[in-house]
Structure 1
Amino acid sequence: MLLSIVAATAVEQSHNRQIARELAAIATRIEGRIETQTALLSSLRGFLSATGYRIDPPAIRRFLGLSDQNGLTAGMQGVGIALHQKADDVAPAEAILKDAYGQGRGVWPETDQPDRFPIVLLEPADERNRAAYGYDMYAEPVRREAMDRAWRSGEAAATAPVELVQEITADKQIGFLIYLPVIRDDGTIHSLVYAPYRIGDMMHEVLTQPSDLGVTARVVDTATGVVMLEPDKDLAFSASYPILMADREWRVDLAYRDRAATFNQASFLLLVGGGLVAVLLQWLLQQREQRIQAELDAAREVRRSAELRGLLLEETRHRLKNSVARISAIARLTARQVETKEDFLTLFERQLHALAAAQDLLNPALGGGVDLRALLDAELASVGGNREAIVVEGQPVRLDSNQAQALGLILHELLTNSLKYGALSQEQGLLTVRWTVLERVRMEWIETGARPADAQASGFGTRLIDTLVTRQLGGRLSRRPAEDGMRIDIDWPPAAR
């Protein structure tokens, strides 16, 4: 009997530790679901950017895989776009609403703000979401505060607890919204992509799908102290967790609905049946932990996929713009050297073939590495024009696969920028690229005869170069504008032999 009591105590302590681990995993799961949905908003932002900021509801529905019957997960009521408009000119928003949804109400309510952000798209187009079309969220203070945070930071921002305009039935729930700004290349705001949530639906989905975890929750907005969700019955909550919803913190209290009964039953059975039941109970607990872990792994994979889709869209858009800019610049350089249309077509076609050949070198697996000069020559060959305007100096430097991929992208960016508005865009411009090798490889990119560059430029291309140098090459970069051009210095450790 004493042995059974000891066994019961040991298993109950193990059960307590198991409960703590499981509830912590569930808290992570709640936060992860929202991160997944925010990644979906990031994908929509990338889609808008890649399609020239055109709001095309059928195309967006296809991109998101939504229909009127296709509900979103984790309590997300929809995926929407709030278009930025000046208060005295909402005609573009009203035109989109009328064309997409036959919406005749227009933008509402009245506002004293100079800016408006009416909802011009909200999918799926079910009855609840239709009630929100045309609603200017910027007119309402709680929403406006979160929208301003997103606008200023460029990152996702969540509102304090609000009542959604979709609450058109007697069964009302507290809601919240997450916003992500869509910023044009010139730095102006185009819109806010967003998602509205009903907190009760969200927590029910997280805690019961794909299987019921037997857990109940209380949710409190930390900043305001508003209780957003109360359990159906009074329970002794076993753990509290801070959870981040975009940039806003919640406190989530979690407890198993049947925890007390489980302990009493477990102790009683152990006292009566001894060690066999203890082993069985431990096995059941392990099975439950494995099930929760599997669901967490699946949620992380979905989140990674959504993030990757958004990144690929942004990179595709950027590379497409670069390709158009390079072809345009090549055409201008070619036109300077010829006098007839036939000569232009012959030389221009030759340059396009060189551009294609350069990509063949820059995009292989590069398992055996490549020489730095060969990599640079492949890019320069695609430019054509006056090669006397380009000076290259440097000893042989072998690049491994990782370095070659990074430097291929870096050289592509730098050369594209030079063609667009740097030394190679000017008839008297000169580009000098030289490098030395000591303990580190040091490369100098010097442009003269061009307008001064902005050393603080922060576009996608500039951020891409900085990221590739510091993270993939493990190197350092400095930019120095000059009166007649610019200079960039890059150094990195040589490839291992």
Structure 2
Amino acid sequence: MIHYLPPAVFIVVSLIGAGMTAVVYNAEEAADRIRFENLADDAVDRVVGRIREHITLLISTHSFFSAQAGRVERPAFERYVAGLDLEGEFEGIRGIGYARLLETGDEAEAAGDLQRNYGLAREVWPETSQDLRTPIVLLEPSDERNRVALGYDMFSEDRRRNAMRAAMESGKPTASAPVELVQEITSVKQAGFLVYIPFKQFPSSRRVDGFVYAPFRAGDLHRAALDRVPRLPVTIETTDTTEGTTGRATGGTPNGSGDLLFRSAGYGEDTAYEGLAAERVVDMAGRQWTFKVHATPAFRTTTHHIYAMVVGAVSLLLAIALAMSSRFQLKAVAAADELRRVSEKTVQEKDLMLQEMKHRIKNSIARVLAIARQTAANSDTIDEFSDSFTARLNAMANAQDMLTRSHWQRADLRELLNTELEQVFGNSTGEDKITGPKVLLDERTTQALGLTFHELATNALKYGGISTNNGDLHVNWAITGSGKSKRLQLDWIETSAGTIGEPEGTGFGSRLIDANIRGELGGTIDRSFHPDGMTVRMNIPL
């Protein structure tokens, strides 16, 4: 189970990091929502604030009329309005004017005002079925659009009439429902509205003498408010949603959604950016205006959700680091355990090796002593003993040397045979005289065959005529059987010019060979003598 610790650490830390990232992400989303709500308030405040500034300007004009007791001539009014710089400072307001309140049939008074103030021979228009009329007799600045509106009876149109009646009832500035201004004389038209303030020549009188009013182009007003620096990354739609509105305005729809006053470019082409939308309802001089605000792609900055990404990245790196640290610690613990195990095994192997060395040394000493005793018993002189004993010790040493080079694992049969023959005969035997497959011998077999080959070679040198070049030697072997039944069959074949007679007795060399093959290795050995030589066949288990 401990192997699952690194992935478990990674998963747990990643889940914690994901939770932290989600918290930060939600916090950033909430912050963005709050920021957007503030931007929506700012956008609405810009529009509403600008309209209220204009209404304040209209209230000031009403005060100007009151100060003149209603006797305001055009030259004074023209200078007054020119000083306000409507086009430069109050974009969106089309002008400031005065509409006289008359009973139907008294239109001549208004026509006289138009003739006196503007030199216009124009009757009040259009025809009406109403008892009252409110023709425009003053409207500044006097440009082409405003001159078209002079003499227009605003009381003849439903929405304007309703606004004026509401203003007379409240005595406060009152806005109309969206209308198409009579100043819209070009093909490009905008929705508009008007704001009326009832005027009384004598404040204590109940009779209203007329209206100080201002026409507004909604599109110009909104753009002037919203295009101010800094530009807001929002689009906006403004509608008049006052209940009971009748009629139709330019760009508006007389349905439950209200009459459209203004819509930003790009608004409604797509859903609100990432669902960021807000709605504000504002009382605008007695009318209910609904502002719908949408965020644009510019709302998101290049560092959007940067903190969530940083937290997520740090959490992931931390999870990876902790998982790797756990893995390295497990590896370190495993390495320490392995080192301890190897150390213990080394100690055990060292003890085993010491015991093995003691055993081998004892065996070698016992074998040397046995060889010494037998060699001495079969030697007539010290020199003969020395030569025979030294040769047999060298045979043992050669076998030991081969085993040592292979770390006491295996010795090659061909190499062992060549070494012993070279030691006895003084030169190597040709490859054509030694044939057989590759055979690896264990320690015991190597020791036994080493001494056996030495004894056979010594006898061949003494009795086989090899030393006088009258004889020859061939050794071949083969593997028989398989698995645990595998055996080595080796034939030692000596040839000679003369007959090699069978010995009358058994010397030490023959006894040593029999002891090695039969006793040590559990094999068999057969000797056969013939007119031109001798054959020794050994069969031993591998």
With normalisation by structure 1, the TM-score equals 0.51
Query: Kindly tell me: are residues 92 and 68 of structure 1, through their superposed partners in 2, closer, same or farther at Cα, counting changes over 3 Å?
Result: farther
- Tell me, yes or no, if the aligned pair for 2:173 and 2:285 is still in contact at 8 Å: yes
1:246 equivalent to 2:285? Answer: yes
Instruction: List alignment gaps of at least 5 residues for structure 1.
Output: 276-497
Note the alpha carbon deviations across 1:220-268, whole angstroms, 9 max, x for none: 2112422333333224161100112101111111123235x616x3336
Q: What is the aligned partner in structure 2 of residue 281 from structure 1? A: none
Indicate yes or no: 2:240 matched with 1:221. Answer: yes
Q: 2:181 and 2:194 mapped to 1: Cα distance?
A: 9
Q: Could you tell me how far apart the structure 2 residues matched to 1:66 and 1:92 are?
A: 28
Contact 1:243 1:250 in 2 (8 A): yes
Deviation, structure 1 residue 28: 2.8
Give the fraction of aligned pairs with identical amino acids, expressed as a percent.
37
3-state SS in 1 of match to 2:32? helix
Other structure's SS at 2:165 match: helix
Asked if residue 55 in structure 1 is aligned to residue 95 in structure 2, the reply is no
For 1:140, the equivalent position in structure 2 comes to 157
Deviations 1:292-317 (A, max 9, x none): xxxxxxxxxxxxxxxxxxxxxxxxxx
1:262 aligned residue (300, 312, 321): 300
CA contact 2:238–2:261 (8 Å) conserved in 1: yes
Q: How many residues align?
A: 273
Larger Rg: 2
Determine the structure 1 residue equivalent to 2:206.
187
Cα deviation code 1:75-104 (max 9, x no counterpart): 111111111122212222222222322222
Residue 26 of structure 1 aligns to which amino acid in structure 2?
Answer: A
CA deviation vs aligned residue, 1:96-116 (integer Å, no higher than 9, x gap): 222322222231111122211
Secondary structure of the residue aligned to 2:87 is coil
Match of 2:186 in 1: 169
Shift of 1:212: 2.5
Shift of 1:211: 4.3
- Taking structure 1 as reference, are residues 89 and 165 closer, same or farther at Cα in structure 2, changes over 3 Å only? same
Conserved 8 A contact 1:12-1:267: no
Offset, 1:52: 1.9
Aligned 8 A contact 2:47 2:221 in 1: no
Looking at structure 1, the residues matched to 39 and 161 of structure 2 have their Cα atoms a distance apart, in angstroms, of: 37
Which residue of 127, 132, 142 maps to 2:144?
127
Larger RCO, structure (CA 8 Å, separation 6 or more): 1
SS at match of 1:266: coil
Contact 1:217 1:230 in 2 (8 A): yes
Aligned runs of 1:48-447 on 2, under 5 Å? 48-66=65-83, 70-71=87-88, 73=90, 75-185=92-202, 186-223=205-242, 224=245, 225-233=258-266, 234=268, 235-236=271-272, 238-258=277-297, 262=300, 265-267=302-304, 269-270=306-307
Q: Which residue matches 2:495? A: none
Cα distance in 2, alignment partners of residues 213 and 14 from structure 1: 17
Deviation at 1:273, TM superposition (A): 6.9
The answer on whether the counterparts of 2:82 and 2:141 sit within 8 Å (CA) in structure 1 is: no
Take 1:67 and 1:130, find their aligned partners in 2: how far apart are those partners? 19
Q: With the length of structure 2 as denominator, give the TM-score of the two structures.
A: 0.47
Cα distance between partner residues in 1 of 2:86 and 2:105: 37
Q: Distance in 1 between matches of 2:162 and 2:133?
A: 13
Q: What are structure 2's unaligned runs of at least 5 residues?
A: 1-13, 246-257, 313-542
Deviation at 1:167, TM superposition (A): 0.7
Contact 1:75 1:198 in 2 (8 A): yes
- 2 CA distance for matches of 1:69 and 1:29? 18
Q: Which amino acid aligns with 1:252?
A: F
